[in-house]
Chains A and B, each alone.
Chain A
């Protein structure tokens, strides 16, 4: 298990280094001048030159790359060109929205998808299966921003149960924070749950066709016990893979939902930083996301080993 972990961590580190080079060079070739963007169309050439100096854009490329990577190694992500506050603070401010949102969405989608998937698999071909998979099909097809707008009109404009958007912060207690994340979490979770339910169903069907399941049933084990203990555990590998991927998407790929609910999350930070050519922020956030994907994959790998002991030796 230790060798397994060491190898995984090593691969993760190499991924990070390669990613840092790619991220840095891609952003460098992006057209656009951050100083011009900040000072606008009436700026005098001297003012632009001063701004470039202030932003540290005059140093050679390689120096800037090494400064950046060296800083990150000790936890210093640099200062934003536009906000002029430390990048790590900006990320932290956004992470308190994005991380809970991703976790709530993942919990919601898992809590819906797995029972539905198992239910559908157990009733293969019957009405319950057809109906639940039909609904899931709709869930996969409906764009989440449209679903989000629908939720806003019903729960915020008509019923006035929750605010139409925005984030109240965690200062007013856990409940008020969770309340402002509720609609976005549902909007994000349902389409994901639809996909996850379909994956769970097909993985379960495959396992349910195995000989050992028939044997277990023939021994007289209760149906429910066979489904949840014997079948589900073996069907978990593809389900975990999808869940890992979904969590990574939920962390920063939620820009559209963040816009619809005007939530100050990581996705919007990246989007804003790209349009304002706040390169250092983009670089910092992207690296952090790469790192979190690496960590999520590591966790998923470990979970594989937990559900399937045969994988531990690899």
Chain B
């Protein structure tokens, strides 16, 4: 009996030892708030599509790394002609799509031509606007000719929307995404979760995870118990709200506040009276107290901005002091513009909490200087139609999340209705400049013009509230692109 007991004990111990030695987890559950409408990055703008697929399922010629710089991906390397108009991409060889199809130069040509075609539904078609032609020299070489030199071309090709898709499976990517990445799409329980599995035939460095699941948790109140109970291991950007200190103080979790490409601005209709007057826009800028807005709209985590540019970008210039908070000055400017008693206007707010909460604070700040805002909450679809497409608004509040998107101010029909030939010239110059120092200089100039023109009320850079299990490593700390790249994610025990 005693013998039996010790045998049982010994084997139990052995079992325990063997399970602990192989306890290195290889699965992860990532929480996300919004469900993607479908999974084809070349046919929808929703950030959630890229959050699941970027670098995991789909790859491009180039990619953006966690530091925001361009790295080679399906293109091993590239040569640029002296006039800057011809890019010769040397491709990786031995790459296969998840359905077994061979990847080669024809797929690159196919993907680019498809995105540029007349019937293309690519949401970032403008990324391709400089391309004149794509030619296949041999299965491992593609030559792209541009109409004019474009400084940001390899960066453009790193966007999620510029994914390289297969000739044989491109039309099915919405439901069954087929890429060349280290993870294969496994299954999508709509409304619930998206599962990926390791691609055993991956051409590059193998990933540490065997499987990954994106779980859709639409409600902020549900996100907190999901992470506390261990059901979900990580949120790239968690809607934690007031519960953040509770998670921060719990040693089981790591909370990393990072930056994003989201410039949050008080969008202003620059053509509509009285906002067409510079004094009025300056008066609004002087009336805004950024610290209060950041405290109320982003739990104090946002970074103040004075122009439309991300503070983590090397070309950033701090212009928050251009029109400092000064209600007295604001009133003077309003009087000079012919509104000694202020005026009334509307403020249309989209659904995200930062907009609704920030809007309330801004309305009360502007009331101090005599500007009475009527707050009109609108649904997202409504915002896009009324404010963005029809430009039927006075003021709005929104975060512009596209990376490096200062060029939107040069668009002729953009909803800010801002037109400044001087700014447009800077943008044109920037587009054809490849030299880093010169680009930096031009970016600085552009930021200054926007700040001085007080085009919009420049408020803050949206924070990224990363929350994950303390034993999980390799998640992105910042969001140069809003993606959940799992290629370097692993468990430490």
A interface vs B, CB < 8 Å?
30-34, 36-44, 46-47, 50-51, 53-54, 82-85, 90, 93-94, 145, 149, 152-153, 156-157, 160, 163-167, 169, 259-265, 268-269, 272, 275-278
B120 in contact with A47 (CB, 8 Å): yes
Q: Which residues between 215 and 245 of chain B lie within 8 Å of chain A, taking CB atoms? A: 215-219, 221-222, 225-226, 228-229, 231
Contacts A259-B218, A262-B217 known; A46 to B120 CB distance under 8 Å? Answer: yes
Q: Is B379 positioned at the interface, with any CB of A under 8 Å from its CB?
A: yes
Q: Which residues between 382 and 427 of chain B lie within 8 Å of chain A, taking CB atoms? A: 382, 384-386, 388-389, 400, 402
Partner pick for A157 among B191, B215, B228, B386, CB 8 A cutoff: B228
Task: Report B-chain residues with C-beta under 8 Å of the C-beta of A38.
Answer: 37, 43-46, 121, 123
Contacts A44-B125, A261-B222, A262-B215 known; A39 to B44 CB distance under 8 Å? Answer: yes
Using an 8 Å CB-CB cutoff, how does the interface string of B187-211 with A read, 1 for contact, 0 for none? 0011111000000000000000000
Report Cα–Cα, A33/B380, bound state, in Å. Answer: 11
**Interface pairs (20), CB distance under 8 Å:** A31-B381, A36-B384, A36-B389, A38-B46, A40-B44, A40-B123, A41-B384, A46-B118, A47-B125, A54-B121, A84-B38, A84-B175, A93-B189, A94-B191, A145-B221, A165-B226, A167-B192, A262-B192, A262-B219, A277-B381
Additional pairs, 11, CB under 8 Å, beyond known A32-B381, A90-B190 = A33-B381, A38-B123, A50-B118, A53-B119, A165-B225, A260-B222, A261-B222, A262-B192, A268-B218, A272-B35, A275-B380
Number of residue pairs A-B, CB distance < 8 angstroms: 154
Partner pick for B123 among A42, A145, A156, A160, CB 8 A cutoff: A42
Q: Interface residues of B, CB < 8 Å — how many?
A: 46
Report Cα–Cα, A259/B389, bound state, in Å. Answer: 31
A39 in contact with B120 (CB, 8 Å): no
Task: Report B-chain residues with C-beta under 8 Å of the C-beta of A33.
Answer: 381, 384-385, 389
Report Cα–Cα, A42/B127, bound state, in Å. Answer: 10
Contacts A50-B119, A166-B231 known; A37 to B380 CB distance under 8 Å? Answer: yes
B126 in contact with A44 (CB, 8 Å): yes
B120 in contact with A83 (CB, 8 Å): no
Partner pick for A31 among B126, B229, B382, B400, CB 8 A cutoff: B382
Q: Is B124 positioned at the interface, with any CB of A under 8 Å from its CB?
A: yes
Task: Report B-chain residues with C-beta under 8 Å of the C-beta of A41.
Answer: 45, 384, 388, 400, 402
Report Cα–Cα, A207/B221, bound state, in Å. Answer: 45
Report Cα–Cα, A47/B225, bound state, in Å. Answer: 41
Contacts A44-B125, A47-B122 known; A32 to B175 CB distance under 8 Å? Answer: no
Task: Report A-chain residues with C-beta under 8 Å of the C-beta of B216.
Answer: 262, 264
A43 in contact with B125 (CB, 8 Å): yes
Q: Is B271 positioned at the interface, with any CB of A under 8 Å from its CB?
A: no
B45 in contact with A39 (CB, 8 Å): yes
Q: Which residues between 112 and 167 of chain B lie within 8 Å of chain A, taking CB atoms? A: 118-126
Report Cα–Cα, A82/B39, bound state, in Å. Answer: 10
Select from chain B the residue with minimum beta-carbon distance to A259: B219
Select from chain A the residue with minimum beta-carbon distance to B217: A262
Q: Is B440 positioned at the interface, with any CB of A under 8 Å from its CB?
A: no
Report Cα–Cα, A277/B123, bound state, in Å. Answer: 17
B120 in contact with A31 (CB, 8 Å): no
B379 in contact with A46 (CB, 8 Å): no
Task: Report A-chain residues with C-beta under 8 Å of the C-beta of B380.
Answer: 37, 275
Task: Report B-chain residues with C-beta under 8 Å of the C-beta of A84.
Answer: 38, 174-175
B46 in contact with A264 (CB, 8 Å): no
A163 in contact with B45 (CB, 8 Å): no
CB distance from A272 to the nearest CB of B (A): 7
A262 in contact with B222 (CB, 8 Å): yes
Select from chain A the residue with minimum beta-carbon distance to B174: A84
Contacts A90-B190, A262-B192, A275-B379 known; A50 to B44 CB distance under 8 Å? Answer: no
Select from chain A the residue with minimum beta-carbon distance to B215: A166
Contacts A47-B121, A268-B218 known; A166 to B192 CB distance under 8 Å? Answer: yes
B191 in contact with A269 (CB, 8 Å): yes
A164 in contact with B231 (CB, 8 Å): yes
Select from chain A the residue with minimum beta-carbon distance to B384: A36
Report Cα–Cα, A149/B221, bound state, in Å. Answer: 8
Select from chain A the residue with minimum beta-carbon distance to B47: A40
Report Cα–Cα, A259/B220, bound state, in Å. Answer: 9
Task: Report A-chain residues with C-beta under 8 Å of the C-beta of B381.
Answer: 30-34, 37, 275-277
Task: Report A-chain residues with C-beta under 8 Å of the C-beta of B175.
Answer: 83-85
